[in-house]
Amino acid sequence: MITSAWYKRQEGAPRFGIWYCGLGIGQIIGGLVSFAAQHSVSRLQGWRLMFLVIGLLNILISGFIFRLPPDPEKSAFLTPAEVKFIVQRLKDDQAGVGPKVVRKRSIIEAFLDLQTWLLCLITLLTTMSAGVVVYYSVILITTFGYNSKEAALLNMPSGLVAIISTLGVVTVVRNGYPRWLTIVIACIPPTIGGCLMSFLPATSKVGLLIGVYLVNTVSSSYNIIITTQRVLMTSVGTIRVRPCSFNCWSQL
């Protein structure tokens, strides 16, 4: 929502990709914090200390988020001329500006549009299975025969893989390649990773680790799915879309 209030539609995908790299950065920092917490001599248990450190860090960052202006018109660091320029370029792009009105007709149209259901389906299939692997990858790595300290460190490359794949997909989209094709290609590495984790023998520890790392590339496809939903929603508001039609996909 914040990105759409500041950037044009075609600018939103690369910006959102940069913001989404925070997921990978969190995995890297989380691995270091977890490793350090397990070596702590504090009376607190390692997992309690880790939650305390990460919780305090989030509270600190939230203080800056509360000061973030919701749109250019409410920003204190822009001159009136700069605000006028940003608002005008968003109006020209028909993005992020204007009153938001909920209409019964629009809701019915969305429910009858096949694109809506396909986007819901791909979002569900992408996040439901991959979320388990991405967020519980440390526990999975321990089942490969590593202890908890080793698993914390071995999970850190997952964050780096997520960052590289996200920035790679963003670069492809920014260079003009179709979003639908980019999503399809971005779903191939996590599918391969899932197959490695499912069918390799338990003795193949390196192969299983590679599978975990490949599954973490799924965040790149989800990033494009979110920006695709934004483009479609904006398109529905500016041109007439008949139910179960695919004319909006030509813009993707």
Q: DSSP of 17-51, one letter per residue?
A: HHHHTHHHHHHHHHHHHHHHHHT--SSS-HHHHHH
Cα Dmax for the chain: 64
Confirm whether 59 is domain-assigned. yes
Radius of gyration of the chain (CA): 21
Residue matched to tokens 């920003």:
75
CA distance 215 to 232: 27
| pLDDT score of 46 | 74
Residue 160: per-residue pLDDT:
92
Q: What is the pLDDT along the chain (252 residues), one digit of tens a residue?
A: 778 788 887 777 788 888 888 888 888 988 888 888 888 777 777 778 888 888 898 899 888 888 888 888 888 888 889 988 988 888 887 665 556 677 888 888 888 988 888 888 888 887 776 667 777 788 888 888 888 889 889 989 999 998 999 899 888 888 878 888 888 888 899 899 989 988 999 889 999 999 999 988 888 887 777 776 655 555 444 433 333 344 444 444
81 domain-assigned: no
Cα(220)–Cα(56) distance, rounded to whole angstroms?
A: 28
Half-sphere exposure of 250 (CA within 13 A, CB side): 5
pLDDT at site 189? 92
Q: Is 39 exposed, middle or buried (0-12, 13-18, 19+ CB in 10 A)?
A: exposed
Structural domain count, the chain: 1
The pLDDT value given to residue 41: 72
Confidence (pLDDT) at 71: 81
List, in sequence order, every beta strand (DSSP E) within the chain. Answer: none
Nearest to 141 by CA among 90, 73, 216: 216
Q: Is residue 30 included in any domain, yes or no?
A: yes
Instruction: For residue 89, tell me if it sits in a domain.
Output: no
252 closest CA partner among 122, 152, 145: 122
Model pLDDT, residue 52: 86
Q: State which amino acid sits at residue 221.
A: S
Residue 123 belongs to a domain: yes
Q: 96 lies in a domain?
A: no
Residue 190 is classified by DSSP as: H
What is the structure's pLDDT at 192?
A: 93
157: containing domain: 2-68+101-251
Question: Given CA atoms 223, 227, 229, 232 in this order, what sign does their dihedral have?
Answer: negative
216 inside domain: yes
- Cα 135 to Cα 252: distance, rounded to the nearest angstrom: 30
Q: Is residue 167 in some structural domain?
A: yes
